[in-house]
Structure 1
Amino acid sequence: MLKRTLSALIGAPLLLGLTYLGGPYIAFLVAVLTLLALWEFMKIGERMGMQTWYIQTTIVTVVWLINLFIGSREWLLSALVFWLLLVLGRLALTYPKTSLAEATFNLLAFLYTVVLLSHLYMLRQLPGGLELTFLTIFLVWATDTGAYLIGRGFGRHLLAPQVSPKKTVEGSLGGLVLSIVVALVFWRLVGETSWIKYLILAIIVGVSAQIGDLFESALKRSAGVKDSGNLIPGHGGILDRFDSLIFAIPLVYYGVTLIVR
């Protein structure tokens, strides 16, 4: 518990501080997180018996991040399509040495850890991005906290017992409710738009964050590991700490850019 608390006291201000500074600081944060998350994902794949493509995925990740940070967004889709064709081409040329499961895993490695997590930088770069990014982070933390506290105190009905035997329906609802409460408090303090928009974002985050948590749990169970890594004392790895945010951030980004605005 002491290690977990100390890690949170150091990690949370660091995350918020780099996010607040923006620019090259948030770029550095996202680059480090994506590369570490990709490495952890690959290690999980090895535990599952997969042949992991470290060199290829690292190269496409670096290309993706460079284009993201210099503002060449039109090249991001090209990089994504190129990676898809590369994966499919390798499957076609080397089958059965390369299996469909191996190709799919390595494709997913890039999509999950790099493409989704890159939206942290993209959200911060939007007009009003600082408020939106802070709001999303706080809502994810509120969802995790509410689910833990309510689930521990009142949980009776298991939510997904095959994936996470400790998560309950009551805890899930508690996380969603606390997310909504924090969003409305945030709206009262700094909001300049309708409270409905904050409510929508709270629901998006409250649901997606928990699905992201369950996905990572399913991934670890498939590999027979408890944590994705041991980089963060008391918390495990990057994926253990950011699994909820990885799912929530892209949905908030597109919710804001395509729906809310």
Structure 2
Amino acid sequence: MFKRTMSALIGAPLLLGLIYLGGSYTAFLIAVLTFLALREFLQIGVQMGVAPWYIQTSTATAVWLTSLFIGREEWIMAALIFWFLICLGRLALTYPKTQLTEANFNLLAVLYAVVMLSHLYLLRQLPRGIEWTMLTIFLVWATDTGAYLIGRQFGQHLLAPNVSPKKTIEGSIGGLVFSIIIALVSWHIIGGAPWHNYIVIGVIIGISAQIGDLFESALKRSAGVKDSGNLIPGHGGILDRFDSLIFALPLVYYGIILLS
């Protein structure tokens, strides 16, 4: 408990501070987080018996982040397409040495641990990006808190017993309600957009954050591991701490663009 508390007291201000500063500070944060998350994802693959492509995935990550940080939007889609074709091409050229499961896992490693997580940088770069980014983080925390408190007090019906035996439908609803409530409170304090936009964001995060949490739990169960890593004392790895945020970030980013 002490390690968990100390990690939160150090990690949370560092995370929020680098996001607040923006620019190269946020870029540095994203670069570190994505490479660490990628490594954890590949290590989970090793536990599942899947051969990791360290060089190829690291190169794809470097190309993606470079395109992102220098603002070359036309390169971003190209980088995704090339990575997709590289994975399929390796399968085609080296089959049966390379199996479909291996190609799919390494393809997903970059998409999940790098592309989805790096939307934190894209969100921060939007007009009023600091507000939207902080709102997203706080709503994810509100969802987790609400799901825990309501689930602990009123939980009766299991949500996904084969994935997480402690999460309940009541807790899930509580997490969604907490997210919407905090979103409305934020609208009252921050403003700058219609109230219903905040509700939409609250709903998006209240649902996607919980799915992201369950996905990472399913991934770890598939590999037979308790945590994705041990980098953060008392919390596990990067994926353990950012699983909910990884799913929420892209949806919030594109949701804000569509609502603007």
Instruction: Please say if 1:176 is aligned against 2:176.
Output: yes
TM-score w.r.t. length of structure 1: 0.99
Q: Deviations over 1:19-42 (max 9, x none)?
A: 100000000010000000000000
**In 1, distance between residues paired with 2:27 and 2:138?**
20
TM-score w.r.t. length of structure 2: 0.99
Q: Which amino acid aligns with 2:44?
A: I
Matching residue of 2:79: 79
What are the equivalent positions in structure 2 for 1:29-68 lying under 5 Å apart? 29-68=29-68
Q: Which amino acid aligns with 2:119?
A: H
**In 1, distance between residues paired with 2:79 and 2:195?**
38
**In 1, distance between residues paired with 2:113 and 2:194?**
33
Q: CA RMSD in A?
A: 0.6
Matching residue of 1:226: 226
SS of the aligned residue for 2:230 comes to coil
Q: Which amino acid aligns with 2:167?
A: K
Matching residue of 2:92: 92
**In 2, distance between residues paired with 1:196 and 1:205?**
14
**In 2, distance between residues paired with 1:73 and 1:234?**
38
What are the equivalent positions in structure 2 for 1:109-258 lying under 5 Å apart? 109-258=109-258
SS of the aligned residue for 2:192 comes to coil
Q: Which amino acid aligns with 1:66?
A: T
Q: Deviations over 1:173-216 (max 9, x none)?
A: 11111111111111111112211110010000000000000000
**In 2, distance between residues paired with 1:63 and 1:192?**
35
Q: Deviations over 1:89-114 (max 9, x none)?
A: 11001111000000000000000011
- % same residue: 73
Q: Which runs of 4+ in 1 moved over 4 A?
A: none
Structure 1 residues without counterparts, runs of 5 or longer: none
SS of the aligned residue for 2:167 comes to strand
**In 2, distance between residues paired with 1:211 and 1:61?**
24
**In 2, distance between residues paired with 1:187 and 1:82?**
41
- Count of aligned residue pairs for this structure pair: 260
**In 1, distance between residues paired with 2:61 and 2:46?**
19
**In 2, distance between residues paired with 1:225 and 1:108?**
19
